[in-house]
């Protein structure tokens, strides 16, 4: 038996609507201001796994910004993510 996307079994097995738009869960914004504002925030190198760091350390709702070769977790100061990054 092959499952088609329109089958109810397919939707219940995979628990998602095939027509729903995909969400970007691992969004990282770019930060273009002074490095001094990011001192003291936890960071990891840009070659690291965003998904892994969110899953294991920061939480799925963490706010991340990139400056140079590093990605910083600015969840404790959301204005950096929302107002000062693009």
Please choose, from the candidates 25, 66, 19, the residue with its C-alpha nearest in 3D space to the C-alpha of residue 44. 66
Tell me, yes or no, whether 11 lies in a domain.
no
Res 41: pLDDT: 95
Q: What are the pLDDT digits (tens) for 3-52?
A: 555 555 545 555 566 666 665 566 899 998 888 899 999 999 999 999 99
The total number of structural domains in the chain stands at: 1
How many whole angstroms separate alpha carbon 68 and alpha carbon 4?
A: 45
Tell me, yes or no, whether 41 lies in a domain.
yes
Overall pTM surpassing 0.75 (yes/no): no
How many whole angstroms separate alpha carbon 44 and alpha carbon 3?
A: 42
**If you average pLDDT over residues 70-75, what whole number do you get?**
95
Domain of 65 in residue numbering reads as 26-83
């Amino acid at each position: 038996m092959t499952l088609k996307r329109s089958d109810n079994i397919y939707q219940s097995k995979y628990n998602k609507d095939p027509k729903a738009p995909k969400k970007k869960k691992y969004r990282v914004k770019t930060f273009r201001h002074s490095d001094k504002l990011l001192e003291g925030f936890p960071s990891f190198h840009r070659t690291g796994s965003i998904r892994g760091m969110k899953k294991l350390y920061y939480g799925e709702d963490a706010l991340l910004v990139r400056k140079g070769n590093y990605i910083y977790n600015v969840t404790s100061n959301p204005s950096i993510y929302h107002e000062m990054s693009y």
